[in-house]
Amino acid sequence: MRNAKTWAGLASLTLLGIQSQGLAQSHDELVYNGEIGRIINENCVVCHQEGGIGPMAFESYDQVRPWAPLISYRVERREMPPYAYDQHIGIQDLIGDWRLEDEEIDKLVAWVEAGAPMGDPENELPAPDLKDPAEWNFAAELGQPDLIVPSNSYDIPASGNDLWSNEFVDPKMTADRCIKAVQVKPRGDAAAVVHHANSSVWMENEDTGELERYGMLTEYAMGKWGEMVPAGVCRTLPEGAMIQWSIHMYPGGVGATAPGTMIEDNVVEIGLWFHEEGYEEDESIYKQDLALYQIEDQDDLIIPPHGYQMTQGFHSFDHPIRLDSFQPHGHLRMNAASLEVFYPETGRTEEISQISNWSATWHHSHIYDPDVAPLIPAGAVLVLKQWYDNTADNPNNPDPDQWVYGGSRTGDEMTHAWLAITHLDQEGYEKLVAERREREQRALAGSDD
């Protein structure tokens, strides 16, 4: 795992002390009852446990051993843990980053090559910390949510056509609150059929009494972990707000069950953790929002059978911003995405993020560490690109003979990304730039411990 600032469920880097000994140690010391078991417990067991979302459990040597060759294969190709984000391109300090360190990968591969030894039975590892799959992902760090907003309940067929539901629910907000973290969680079997669940905030217009859209609350799509809003900004859920759910269900999508059966009582829940009341009153707190940035007009998107497509879109702001997170969105043909910033004054383009091996199974919100999140002056241009592969080489492609158009069904394609943005003014921007410069200078002087 790359970043010490990871969710508690996946984290706890007891590894650091051991890493300093490095690979200089002979490989026969790489045993399950030691370094290898620790890597697996810290990075894999969160999903690979009885009842977890991984297809097999890795809770003990006996469970891991038969899978050793496949573990080596999937880890070396960086397919596991499932977090596709290119190495060495753009910002690498992400919050909630599941990627392994190069050194951890080398050790797993070397261990498998050496026959995946268990090591001394006397040194058996303590049982891994297991997280209840039904538990909120942030529970270890933040406790239970301050507010849970469930959708209505539906019974839907386990296989069939796409279904949508749009509905309002009242979270009964009695004061404005700033969101600290948010997770959307399909309850139980609903995880198998909910492709995405967007929630937006609506407010009543005092004159007309009609509900009007205020902004986005959060976006969920399969495989998404949750969103942590960086400290020092306020993403508001206002007093009196109504929440609109927009849920896209894809019967038979993932983990399909037998045709003819029903998946009952599908409910999706939003868990919200708030800052203390009045958090936004401090003048150093800027507004943050999450919004969808269209890349190309959906109606223009056409992908030929056995062909490829690429879309490109541009956005700029009349005020400085900090870009806090990036989450590309697409369906079964989309296989890559990138984000760059173009500076018209210098003609320079800066790479921010690239995902060359994108898959709709895992919609990650790549959250930039606030210390390195791009600070973007007014007028600079965000360049969003997405790529599509409608050939038989794309393992997710259900049918390369089809023309694919822009649309909402899982077999259609989409071209947009979700960005969380803190909207600054010139003063706030300059302050953040100056703070960063100071930190860099301190680090250069070697005094930044």
Kindly tell me the sign of the dihedral angle through the C-alpha atoms of 383, 183, 223, 111. positive
Answer yes or no: are the C-beta atoms of 290 and 420 closer than 8 Å.
yes
Q: Which two tokens stand for residue 436?
A: 């960063």
222 binds ligand HEC, rule: CB under 6 A? no
* Alpha-carbon gap, residue 391 to 399, rounded angstroms: 8
Q: How far is the CB of 167 from ligand HEC (least distance, A)?
A: 29
44 binds ligand HEC, rule: CB under 6 A? yes
Nearer to ligand HEC (CB atom), residue 68 or residue 169: 68
133 binds ligand HEC, rule: CB under 6 A? no
Binding residue for ligand HEC (CB under 6 A) from 67, 220, 326, 358? 67
220 binds ligand HEC, rule: CB under 6 A? no
Amino acid letter, residue 241: A
158 binds ligand HEC, rule: CB under 6 A? no
43 binds ligand HEC, rule: CB under 6 A? yes
82 binds ligand HEC, rule: CB under 6 A? yes
Which residues between 95 and 124 bind ligand HEC (CB under 6 A)? 98, 100
Answer yes or no: are the C-beta atoms of 195 and 251 closer than 8 Å.
no
Amino acid letter, residue 409: R
74 binds ligand HEC, rule: CB under 6 A? yes
Answer yes or no: are the C-beta atoms of 255 and 223 closer than 8 Å.
no
Q: Which two tokens stand for residue 221?
A: 């799509």
Amino acid letter, residue 318: D
Question: How many other CB atoms are found less than 10 A from the CB of residue 213?
Answer: 10
Q: How far is the CB of 300 from ligand HEC (least distance, A)?
A: 32
Which range of residues in 51-59, 154-162, 197-205, 431-439 is near ligand HEC by CB under 6 A? 51-59
Binding residue for ligand HEC (CB under 6 A) from 11, 47, 249, 367? 47
Binding residue for ligand HEC (CB under 6 A) from 1, 30, 57, 71? 71
- Between the alpha carbon of residue 94 and those of residues 10, 340, 407, the distances in Å are 14, 16, 31
HSE-CB for 408 with a 13 A CA cutoff: 12
Q: How far is the CB of 13 from ligand HEC (least distance, A)?
A: 15
Q: How far is the CB of 401 from ligand HEC (least distance, A)?
A: 25
Amino acid letter, residue 5: K
Q: Which two tokens stand for residue 327?
A: 């989450």
Give the closest residue to 293 by CA, choosing from 427, 384, 409: 384
80 binds ligand HEC, rule: CB under 6 A? yes
Nearer to ligand HEC (CB atom), residue 104 or residue 176: 104
191 binds ligand HEC, rule: CB under 6 A? no
Give the closest residue to 422 by CA, choosing from 319, 292, 274: 319
30 binds ligand HEC, rule: CB under 6 A? no
75 binds ligand HEC, rule: CB under 6 A? yes
- Total residues at interface with ligand HEC (CB under 6 A): 18
57 binds ligand HEC, rule: CB under 6 A? no
Nearer to ligand HEC (CB atom), residue 31 or residue 233: 31
* Alpha-carbon gap, residue 425 to 9, rounded angstroms: 36
Amino acid letter, residue 145: P
Answer yes or no: are the C-beta atoms of 226 and 141 closer than 8 Å.
no
Which range of residues in 80-88, 155-163, 206-214, 408-416 is near ligand HEC by CB under 6 A? 80-88
Which spans of this chain sit near ligand HEC (rule: CB under 6 A)? 43-44, 46-48, 53-55, 67, 70-71, 74-75, 80-82, 98, 100
